[in-house]
Structure 1
């Protein structure tokens, strides 16, 4: 993994793997895990940074309001046909909490929130 010098506001280093830029080392590590799972036929496929519409853009009183989107880290298609939406987080922001609620209301799916622990690997957080 080759690190890019730019840091996010949360101190994460951007990481480039296979030409894809990830916001953290944990995201890059999960990507590598998904690649391995796909090669081992444990999952059907996965998408990087899928984007979901949460609210359409609109005009009101002559003012234009842009659409609101949520961009997950991964969309994992399992062998049984189910889909998991995965987000890797070090800290849960207010913006993420709001977008998560809007996503779950509109799509009726849940976002699986993971955090990387150096001793236990990826663990699910709520």
Structure 2
């Protein structure tokens, strides 16, 4: 098998092509904010309208939840396991809802969701 260098690949135009998302999602920009998919961008626009109407008091994008703290094993640092949702909205009635837009539910996502709900049992979690 013959291998080519990065320079040769660029010369042939192979590396200049935009990378497609693994699951077919199309990156979309709304209000200067890049979203991983059109579905996520549409959900943001819905939540933004609810905020403008006064139903939502606070809207946070990409909130992070620590599922397992970082630690050191045999002298080597092990990174924390973090779940990053798409949105966290605080409604005027006091409810706090964590939302994730999913087109495809991977095994990693399902595992992290279970860990999230076990570690934070009071969270109201919604898949959009």
Computing the radius of gyration from Cα coordinates, the structure with the larger value is 2
Structure 1: any 5+ residue segments left out of the alignment? 115-126
Number of residue pairs matched by the alignment: 110
Asked whether the equivalents of residues 96 and 124 of structure 2 are also in contact (C-alpha less than 8 Å), the reply is no
Higher strand share: 1
What's the secondary structure of 2:104's corresponding residue? coil
1:31 aligns with 2:60: no
Q: Which deviations, in whole Å up to 9, do the C-alpha atoms of 1:34-82 show, x marking residues without a partner? A: 1111111121121111111111011112222110101000001011111
1:106 maps to: 119
After superposing on structure 2, the runs of 4+ consecutive aligned residues of structure 1 that deviate more than 6 Å are none
Compute the RMSD of aligned alpha carbons: 1.2
Give the alignment's TM-score, normalised by structure 1.
0.82
What's the secondary structure of 1:13's corresponding residue? coil
Asked whether the equivalents of residues 62 and 87 of structure 2 are also in contact (C-alpha less than 8 Å), the reply is yes
Give the alignment's TM-score, normalised by structure 2.
0.81
- The answer to which structure, 1 or 2, has the higher relative contact order (CA under 8 A, 6+ apart) is 2
Counterpart CA distance in 2 for 1:13 and 1:57 is 33
